[in-house]
Amino acid sequence: MSLNIDSINKELGSKTPQEIALWAISFSKNPIVTTNFRPYEGAILNLVTKLKKDLKVIWCDTGYNTPNTYRHAEYLIEKLNLNIKLYVPRQTSSHRDVVLGLPSIEDPKHITFTEQVKLEPFKRAMSEHKPDVWFTNLRKGQTAFRDSIDIVSQGADGILKVSPFYYWTDEELDVYLLENNLPNEFKYFDPTKQLENRECGLHA
């Protein structure tokens, strides 16, 4: 898929998240949305599944989520009737705790850890589903890398990454969740990031 990304972003810059999502769905043959049920994920899941009920929702569960996040995930899966495609690491967290532990980001073992719990399951999901459009809830201001992209970006794999809420603030998303009677959940832990402003590796 060869597109003029700069031109598209200029055109979509004044559109609503719903209009942006509709634009992408209108030509996509195999769209997906990824989620980890972190804060504000309810917004993107609600937005895109309202437009396409059977949209595949890829959840790469690291196995290290908090009890609150798992309860939040189960609630949203049922409330939004999500078409969940679950991917987990090939090794259990209990096994990994013994042989690798939970390395700090300075530890060389952290690269292996990240590959095992996040990158390998994600690559497996993308290989199996082969999407042409990938919806995410990336937003400007989250990390340095995310500041460098826009509503629409395209990687070397050709997949079109679409972030309908890219320019929205937390406050705007709070209102969206309230208006749509959706909960939020802040007791979230990503073992591959550990710091909120660090990129996890899936997007960069």
Please report whether residue 120 resides in a domain: yes
Is the pLDDT higher at 75 or at 193?
Answer: 75
Reply yes or no on whether the pLDDT at 195 is more than 60.
no
pLDDT value for 190: 87
Q: How many domains does the chain have?
A: 1
In a domain, 91, yes or no: yes
Q: Phi and psi for 197 in degrees, rounded to 5?
A: -95, 15
Nearest to 150 by CA among 8, 1, 9: 9
Give 78 or 148, the one with higher predicted confidence. 78
In a domain, 194, yes or no: no
> Span 133-159, mean pLDDT?
86
Write down the pTM of the prediction: 0.88
- Rounded mean pLDDT, 142-161: 85
CA–CA separation, 118 and 38 (whole Å): 14
Q: With bands split at pLDDT 50, 70 and 90, how would you rate the model's confidence at 33?
A: very high
Tell me the helix, strand and coil percentages in the chain, rounded to 5: 40, 10, 45
Q: What percent of the chain has pLDDT over 70?
A: 93
Residue-wise pLDDT for 116-145, tens only, equals 999 999 999 999 999 999 999 999 877 777
What is the domain extent for residue 132? 5-179
Residue 194 pLDDT exceeds 70: no
Q: What mean pLDDT value characterizes the chain?
A: 91
Give the model's confidence band at 149: pLDDT under 50 very low, under 70 low, under 90 confident, else very high.
Answer: confident
Q: State CA 93 to chain mean position distance.
A: 21
Q: Which two tokens stand for residue 159?
A: 């997949």
Q: In the predicted model, is pLDDT for residue 171 greater than 60?
A: yes
pLDDT of 192 reads: 85
68 is a domain residue: yes
The mean pLDDT value for 151-160 works out to 91
CATH code: domain of residue 151: 3.40.50.620
Q: Which of 12, 34, 6 is nearest to 125 (CA)?
A: 34
Rounded percentage of the chain residues whose pLDDT exceeds 90: 75
Q: Is residue 193 part of a domain?
A: no
Mean pLDDT within 160-175: 97
Q: What is the C-alpha separation between 46 and 93, in angstroms, rounded?
A: 30
Q: Identify the helix (H) or strand (E) that includes residue 184.
A: none
Tell me if 11 is assigned to some domain.
Answer: yes
pLDDT in tens, 61-108: 999 999 999 999 999 999 999 999 999 999 988 999 898 888 888 898
Residue 46 located in a structural domain: yes
| Any domain includes 203 | no
What is residue 199's predicted lDDT score, i.e. its pLDDT?
A: 44
- Non-local CB neighbours of 153 within 8 Å, separated by 6+ positions: 5, 160, 161, 163
